[in-house]
Amino acid sequence: MRKALPIGHKDDDMVDAAYNDFKVYYITHIDTYTKPFPGIQDLLAKLHHEGVMLAVASNKFQEGTEHLIKEFFPEIPFVAVLGGRPDFPLKPDPEIVGEVLRKAGIEKEDAVMIGDSDTDMATAANGGIIGIAVNWGYRDMRDIINWGIGPSTGSGTEPWKVVRHYCMSRIHGKGTKPELKVRQWLWRHGYRYRLNVKSVPGKPDIVMRRYRTAIFVNGCFWHGHFVEFSVEKCEAFDGVNLEFREESSQCCKIPQTNREFWVNKIKRNQERDQKNYQVLHDNGWQVIVIWECQLTPKRIEETMLRVELLLNEHFLALHQPKVIPYNVQEMPISIAAEEEEHYEKR
């Protein structure tokens, strides 16, 4: 704005007045020549359909950012729409990344930033999150990826494949973040355990032999938390066919992409889990299953207190003194007494 003003009229008061006039005009004509780049709407729709939380971080002033989002993406429930505000630093300052993470309730390790400029990639790097560079904008792709700390991709819906591959590649079977939360809580409260003991059926995440308890910390998606599989009969021309249905839950949304593969995988995981739990029960073990959604900051304390109660109750049951019944026959008791005296009346 300062560069656009004529010489001799570049003082702060004039810049502020010109900027305020510009905002009034711009907010009225903001969508006159503005439209999303091809592929952005499809990408956001795919991410939202797969249960990915979405947010907007822009240097455009707040009112303009909100107006464009409502105009072009009315069906996407963004967890945060952040633009330029007074006394708030603009990108590439990482403060906007921190605000998005706080509003979404997630950690840096669980977030990625998709951007089409070196400013976006610098913001991701400064905020300590992965940046995925795309060439939607007008900048040279080579300049963008020089800032990137993650993968780069083209335009259209291709970023969806990159985001999906990146997220899946970061999922591990051991030492997951939910498991670390449980282990840290138990250790702080004086409980000791072993990890992934192969000799125990199902190789539980946490094994507490003193309490004869196996703890499984399950991811809601991979183990199908609250996901129901049902078989329904449907009429067909040649008789009655069986139709398999699956119902996603709030914390486990089965992807639409390659859905049959994910349904079969989650179903196999559920069947294997139940088999392992039954074997442990048959061998006298207590099985405690802790779900990922039960370890959010608001629920973790309540969850772990319930786990502690189950541990102590099972420990007392294991070490309760045994009462040995004695079969004693009662015998008549002999009583020694003096002979009865008779007194005469006078």
d(CA 79, CA 113): 14
Other residues' Cβ atoms within 10 Å of the Cβ of residue 65: 20
Q: Regarding predicted confidence, which is higher, 119 or 303?
A: 303
- What pLDDT sits at residue 8? 85
For the packed helices 62-72 and 12-28, what is the interaxial angle rounded to 10 degrees? 10
| Per-residue model confidence as pLDDT tens digits over 129-145 | 988 877 776 666 666 55
pLDDT at 90 over 70: yes
Specify the amino acid at residue 317.
A
Domains and CATH numbers, the chain: 31-168 (3.40.50.1000), 177-318 (3.40.960.10)
User: What are the pLDDT digits (tens) for 22-65?
Assistant: 888 888 888 888 888 877 887 787 777 666 789 999 999 899 89
DSSP-assigned states of every residue in 25-56: HHHHSTTSS--PPTTHHHHHHHHHHTT---EE
* pLDDT at residue 15 greater than cutoff 70: yes
Mean local confidence (pLDDT), 211-223: 91
CA quadruple 246, 252, 258, 262: dihedral positive or negative? negative
**pLDDT at 333 (0 to 100):** 67
Mean pLDDT of 279-286: 94
The rounded distance, in Å, linking the Cα atoms of 37 and 170 is: 29
- What number of residues does the chain have? 346
pTM score > 0.75 for this model?
no
CA atoms of 144 and 146, how far apart (whole Å): 5
Q: What is the pLDDT of residues 235-246, one digit of tens each?
A: 444 444 444 455
